[in-house]
Amino acid sequence: MTTKVATTYDERLTAPRSYWVIAALIGFASALIVFPYGELAALAGFALGTAFACSWVNTQGSSRIRIVGDLLVADDTRVPLAALGDAEILEGEEARAWRTYKADLRAHMLMRSFVSSAVRIEVVDPDDPTPYLYLSTRSPQALSDAIDAARAV
């Protein structure tokens, strides 16, 4: 018998619509580049350019942040909530600062340029060299509250 573990928070960081428009424009530009070789080449250039650009946009928009049971799952990373300390909500300039000049090279960063807010969570496990997790999120207060609520259970 298997038991289901409740997911208390689930967010997918999808790419904005403008990225999909840019992907289509990259396909159009690819078609224009090979158009001198004929219409069939232009059609193939459009198809290949659009497919390549759309796969990149899809990759950018496939990140997920979840709290499942007693784990924080951010893409492929799974961290027990017991190993996490306080969560700090970062907005605007402060989020940009932690992405750039304040960043620690040992930190785990899940960054998306199209998301302007984030949560920085201290790692309190003495055996883990990672000082903190930086997670881009559209709803930093909800993520912080979900971590606190899951930790309290």
Query: What is 65-96 written as a DSSP string?
Result: EEEETTEEEETTEEEEGGGEEEEEEE-HHHHH
pLDDT given for residue 130 in this prediction: 92
- Report the chain's mean pLDDT, rounded to a whole number: 91
| Burial of residue 105, with CB atoms counted within 10 A of its CB: 0-12 exposed, 13-18 middle, 19 or more buried | exposed
Q: Are residues 110 and 72 in the same domain?
A: yes
Per the domain annotation, does 109 fall within a domain? yes
Locus of tokens 């573990």: 5
Provide the domain count of the chain: 2
pLDDT of residue 1: 54
With cut-offs at 50, 70 and 90, classify the pLDDT of residue 96. very high
pLDDT at residue 112 in the model: 87
pLDDT level of residue 97 (50, 70, 90 thresholds): very high
Residues 108 and 134 reside in one and the same domain: yes
Is the same domain home to 39 and 113?
Answer: no
Q: Are both 115 and 72 inside the same structural domain?
A: yes
- Is residue 54 located within the same domain as residue 111? no
46 and 70 fall within a common domain: no
5 confidence band (pLDDT: 50, 70, 90): low
Same domain, yes or no: 23 and 90: no
Q: 2 pLDDT exceeds 80?
A: no
Domain that holds residue 141: 66-152
User: Is position 3 within any domain?
Assistant: no
146 and 74 inside one domain: yes
Report yes or no on 2 lying in a domain. no
Determine which of 50-59, 95-104, 143-152 has the lowest per-residue pLDDT on average: 143-152
Q: Are residues 147 and 72 in the same domain?
A: yes
Q: What is the pLDDT of residue 75?
A: 86
**Residues 119, 78 share a domain:** yes
Under the banding of pLDDT at 50, 70 and 90, the label for residue 84 is: very high
